[in-house]
Structure 1
Amino acid sequence: MAKDYYEILGVDRKASQDDVKKAFRKLAHKYHPDKQGGDAARFKEASEAYSVLTDDKKRAEYDRFGHSASQQTANGGGRGGFAGGFNPEDFGGFDFSGAGGGSEAFDLGDIFSQFFSGGAGGGRTRAPRGRDISIDIELSFAESIFGVDRKVLLTKTSTCATCSGSGAEPGTEFSTCTTCAGKGKIQETKRSMFGQVSVTTNCPTCKGAGKIPKQKCHTCGGAGVTRKQEEISLRIPAGIEDGEMVRLTGSGEAVQGGTPGDLYVKIHVKAHPLFKKEGQNLVVDVSLKLSTALLGGEYSLETLDGKITVVIPAGIAHGEVLRVKNKGVPSERGRRGDILIRISVQLPSKLSRTARNLIEELKKEGL
């Protein structure tokens, strides 16, 4: 069965970008490998779905070809050059995608293209990818509600600032790589479930560049990357939940000749002494004296926006909820939820003689 990215994230095919992002955050929190009980395979699957469905061009292509891929291949070849109804997803349990770690990928697509497209040695190669990084940050309750900009210092592998990742001393000349004859790729024979196959990989000598600098960069020694402390700016969206994950594409570890990994930021929100978050609303419990509940009055409430005065209507009952509009959690579209005030009425545990007599009089009045 081919992967259904919408089913993986649990969203409708007409889901908005906001819906896709929220769904991914929940799954990333649930399956992240660094979390106890996490699932690396499902986390990777959700990340793959997220990267496609949040890219308008990739999503359009997926919507056009994704679900009908098996039918297209059965009718004479699909997008990946498969013929005769072959679908690499049918070989479940074998992961040839090679994501992460900056290592060279063994790509099943290369094998199929050589078997079924008639192009020996013409397969595509997958660029190496840097390692993902995961960090934790703590937010105040107000920061989680309104969103916040944060800067974090990370010590990580980054693209060399001197040579811009080429590994060459600026201004130096290059010579043709003798390993790959300047092609940047080499042919390797590997064993697979189909027997011995010839696959195309990036040249290990020139890292796919096809040329070698005559003088290596004095900063990175030709590695194209250096390990250094780097300041990264984070934008935490409004209304983020405790335990959610924010993903910064390309802010992970760099790797020469490839793409950097991603940075995953796990959010921890401090509890508020008064408010709790329920969707777009903020909920607070307020206890009233019996006299205030019966006669009405005013209540001063300290909100996240400052102090407000809440009018208590006469005769309010225990368990009733008052609503203060547009003081709750902002949405990504700028709208705000409400504050919900849950009323509890205090009943005195002891009565003075005077209070008892007054209540007896009220009883006579039918109250």
Structure 2
Amino acid sequence: MKRNLYRILGVKKDADLATIKKAYRRAAKRFHPDISAGTERQFRDVQEAYEILSDPQKRSVYDRENVSKPPIRMASTKTAFVTPHSLDFFEQFFFGLKEPWFGSFPDIFAESKRRPGSLAVEVILTPEEAEQGGEILLPVQFEIFCEPCHGSGRFARFICDHCLGSGKVGRETKIRLRIPAGVRNGLVQRIPLWNSGYQEIDLTLTFLVRPN
């Protein structure tokens, strides 16, 4: 039987990814050779444990071979959803005749096409909201390459402490979005996020009109 990777990180067998990341940061700082002399072996053990337990496929194989009770599996998605449930919410961000920063609305409707650096967001409106139109302040979460490790996820043989080996870090921005009166169900709009400082990312919006 292999070493108990959960015990190395100090987490339970059903720990979620967020708990594992916190435990890894704590253990990596404690056993880092630059901080504590003579801890190279413990640091390598922590690195190995995190590499396996942070990867769903590797963790599943490890659990099948070494753990009787499987961990809780958590579903995840990178797609953000914004749902204004009421007209009051919609009107909260209505700004009348102000021009949107991203240009003419009809010119940027197009069929959705996912590509590297694109983020898909669904904006769900009631029929009343779609008919009236207005503006909303849209929170958008996405990922960019980790600058300290240049997207590699590593420094030499060690996992990057900033992105925890993923090569990406999370970011959030807010976009003021103009919704014209009479927007139709299924219309798609692409917006570059250069105005928010992210030149390599496009935002693809799909408008869905749904009854209350």
When the two structures are superposed, what TM-score results if normalisation uses the length of structure 1?
0.21
Q: Which has the larger radius of gyration?
A: 1
Bigger relative contact order, structure 1 or 2 (CA pairs below 8 A, ≥6 apart) = 2
Which structure has the highest helix share of the two?
2
